[in-house]
Amino acid sequence: MMMRKAAKCSVGFLWSPLLETFDFGKKHPIRVGRFKMIHDFVEEQGFLDLPSVRVITPEPLSEELLRVIHAEGYIASVQRISESGVGEIDIDTPGFKGIYTNARIVSGASVTGVKAVLSGEIDHFVSPTGGFHHAMYEHGGGFCIFNDVAACVYELKQRGVERVLIADFDVHHGNGTQEYFYDDPGVMQISFHEDPEWMYPHDGFIEDIGAGAGQGFNINMPFPMDSGDEVYRYAFDRLVPKLIHYYRPQFILFIPGFDAHYLDRLAHLKLTTDMTRYITSGIHRAAHDYCNGKMGAMTGGGYHPDSLLWGIGTVISELSGAPYDPPPQKAPFKDNKETWDEVKANVARLEELVFPILGI
C-alpha cells in the first residue's frame, strides 16, 4: 500500500487562549496549562515560524451541530453545571463554572480544522485539544464533555464526504465514537488500545466489529500490558494498510496515541516516540494516496509532559516535512514471547473476523 513519500504540506495549528478556560482541579490529569504548554513548545521548536505552518483560531462548536451529536437533556445538564459550577459530568470528569463554553471551544477546534482543510486553506490540521472519544450521545466521561470526533464526522457528512476513517491509537478505546457509528459503513474506526479487561473504558473487544451495514467497519485491536514498539508495529503492518486500501477514505481523523508511551502515568503500554513517527508517517501517506491529503490530528490523551511534547513535535514534523528529533528513548524492556503470542493471536482473530466480510 501507499508507501510513496508525501510532499511537504501546509499545516494548520489550532490555537486560542480560550482553550485554557477550564479547571478540573489541581489533582486531575488534565490540568490548566496543558494546552499552552503544547503551544509554547510548538513555538519554541520553530514550527510556527515555518511558511508551511499557520495558526488558526478555533471557533466554538455550533449549537446546531452540538444538538446533532448530543441529547437535549445532556446539553441542558452541562449548561446547568456551567452556570452554577456544581456537579460532575462523570466520576472522573468534574464540572466547573463555564464548562459549557470551554467544552464548545475545545471541541470546536477540531471542527474548525476540518473546515479549513475542506476549504483548501491547509492540507492538514493539528489541534492541541480534541480526540474526546469517550463522550456519548446522552452523557460524557473519561475527561470528555462533547464528542468532537463525532462532530467532525457529521460536519464531513453534511459537506458530502461519504467515507471517513477514524484512526484512533489512543491507549484508551474510543467507546463513545464506536457507539455513534457502530452500524455505519460511512465510517471506519480502527482502534489500537490497551486490553479492555484492565483498561478504561473496559470495552473495545475484538469481536465488536460493527453491526448491520456497518459490520466489518469497526476494528478493535487490543494489546496486552507492557506491549512495546515491535509488537505494535507488527499489528499495524498486518492490519492497517490493507484496511485503508480497501476502504479508500476521503478524510482521515487521526488520534496519535501519546498515552501509549512508556512514560505515561495512566496506562501500561511501552511504546516510544519512534512508533509515533512510524504510525504518523503511514497515516500521512495514506491521506495523500486516498484523500488528496485531507486529514486532521487531534491530541487525545498523553499524561507525561515529556512524551506528550515529543509526540506533538513528531506529528507536526511528519505532516509538515520540517525536521524534529525527540531525545533518544529506550523502553524499560522488550516484548517477550507471551506478549508476542497474544498480539499475534489477536491480529489473526481480527483477520479471521473482518477480512472475509470486507473481501480482503
Residue 157: partners with Cβ closer than 8 Å, 6 or more residues away: 164, 186
Cis amide linkage into residue 201, ω under 30° from 0 = yes
Kindly report, residue by residue over 153-210, the tens digit of the pLDDT: 999 999 999 999 999 999 999 999 999 999 999 999 999 999 999 899 999 999 999 9
- Quickly state the pLDDT bin for 4 (edges 50, 70, 90): very low
Active site annotation includes 134: yes
| Alpha carbons 240 and 49: distance in angstroms, whole number | 34
- Average pLDDT rounded to a whole number, residues 233-260: 98
Rounded CA separation 171/134 (Å): 12
- Residues of the chain above pLDDT 70, percent: 98
3-state SS assignment for residue 35 = helix
Q: Are 252 and 287 in contact (CB under 8 A)?
A: yes
The angle at the Cα of 301, spanning 295 to 303, to the nearest 5 degrees, equals 140
Identify the active-site residue in 70, 133, 134, 261. 134
Residue 284 predicted with pLDDT over 60:
yes
The three cell numbers locating residue 336 = 517477550
Residue in 195, 342, 191, 330 with CA at minimum distance from that of residue 261: 330
Average pLDDT, rounded, for the chain: 95
Q: pLDDT tens for residues 294-332?
A: 999 999 999 999 999 999 999 999 999 999 999 999 999
pLDDT of residue 6: 45
Q: What is the pTM of this model?
A: 0.96
Domains and CATH numbers, the chain: 11-358 (3.40.800.20)
What pLDDT score was predicted for residue 22? Answer: 85
What is the number of other CB atoms lying within 10 angstroms of the CB of residue 306? 14
The pLDDT confidence band at residue 94, using thresholds 50, 70 and 90, is confident
Q: How confident is the model at residue 92, as a pLDDT?
A: 82
Collect all residues with Cβ–Cβ distance below 8 Å to 124 and sequence separation of at least 6. 9, 10, 11, 12, 117, 284, 287, 293, 294, 295, 296, 297, 319
Contact 94, 88 (CB under 8 A): yes
